[in-house]
Amino acid sequence: MRVERSVLIVAPARHTGDWLRRLIERTLSNVEIRHARSFSEAQTLLTAGEPFQHIFVSNKFSEREIAEFIEFARTAPAGRESAFILLFGSSERDSSLIAKCMMIGIHGFLGEPCSEHHVAEAMQVATGMRRQTSETRLRAASTVMVSGLVNEFLSGTYKVVKDIREVNINEYLNRCRAKYHEVTGESVTTTVVSTVGTLPRAQRILAYERLKRKIWQVFHERASTVR
């Protein structure tokens, strides 16, 4: 078989690698899929193997472990051009998880349960996000971060986002940015990009929590005047 694309799955559970492998093989042709059950095993593959176009990472690992792995992978021979996709469970789809993971280098998301369509969509979105500049990705992450604050001011299908696949994400982010600016007169993206952009990925986790508390306070102090 002539391999046209390589995919790496990093997940501690064997069954996760098995079901995702089946879905990817139904989605893509001429694809080589490797499954690492630990980051040390994945690092060996990234150092010695051929380049991976996509790397799926389970959120069963800690956020710090994921951040440190992405930091390593981005400089490894087989990971420099990879798009990273986070695997997460059906009860773990919230804006805080999405924003934090975007800040540490995740480009796309795939929730369980899913189909071949969702796998293809996640890979396409991740590839597109990977091509964006680091500043653009952080700007998107910062908007997702404040979406929980903005949601209570929005109506209709955008009031509560249970699953990122269920909304037009570009429209949603634009609405969140506009509402935040309306309430505070400030651009949260500028604050986040300048604060987080220069930090190593593992340090962005703590920075994210501090920024979230600060923005929450500012937003609620000023929100009552524009309701």
Token pair of 156 as six digits: 């209709």
Q: What is the pLDDT of residue 170?
A: 62
The neighbouring-strand residues paired with 109 are 86
Token pair of 11 as six digits: 């997940």
Q: What is the pLDDT of residue 154?
A: 54
Q: What is the pLDDT of residue 69?
A: 96
Q: What is the pLDDT of residue 150?
A: 67
d(CA 127, CA 107): 7
Q: What is the pLDDT of residue 113?
A: 80
Q: What is the pLDDT of residue 24?
A: 94
Quick one: which of 74, 181, 163 has its CA closest to 110?
163
Q: What is the pLDDT of residue 204?
A: 81
Q: What is the pLDDT of residue 215?
A: 74
Q: What is the pLDDT of residue 6?
A: 94
Asked whether the beta carbons of 79 and 50 are under 8 A apart, the reply is no
Whether the model clears a pTM of 0.85, i.e. scores above it, the answer is: no
Q: What is the pLDDT of residue 141?
A: 77
Q: Going residue by residue through the chain (227 aa), what tens digit of pLDDT does each one get?
A: 566 789 999 999 999 889 999 999 998 888 999 999 999 999 999 998 789 999 999 999 998 999 999 999 999 999 999 999 999 876 556 677 788 888 888 999 998 888 899 999 999 989 988 888 777 777 777 777 777 666 655 554 344 444 444 445 566 667 777 777 787 777 766 666 667 777 888 788 777 777 777 777 777 777 666 55
Q: What is the pLDDT of residue 52?
A: 96
Q: What is the pLDDT of residue 67?
A: 92
Asked whether the beta carbons of 59 and 12 are under 8 A apart, the reply is no
Q: What is the pLDDT of residue 25?
A: 93
CB atoms near residue 68 (< 10 Å): 17
The CATH number of whichever domain residue 203 belongs to comes to 3.40.50.2300
Contacts of 167 (CB under 8 A, 6+ apart): 157, 158, 161
Q: What is the pLDDT of residue 68?
A: 93
Quick one: which of 199, 68, 226 has its CA closest to 141?
199
Q: pLDDT (tens digit, 9 = 90+) per residue, 110-124?
A: 988 888 999 999 999
Q: What is the pLDDT of residue 12?
A: 94
DSSP per position, 155-186: -GGGS--S-GGGS-HHHHHHHHHHHHHHHHSS
Quick one: which of 216, 16, 27, 224 has its CA closest to 119?
27
Contacts of 18 (CB under 8 A, 6+ apart): none
d(CA 176, CA 153): 9
For 33, the domain range is 5-223
Q: Structurally, how many domains does the chain consist of? A: 1
Q: What is the pLDDT of residue 11?
A: 95
Q: pLDDT (tens digit, 9 = 90+) per residue, 57-81?
A: 999 999 899 999 999 999 999 999 9
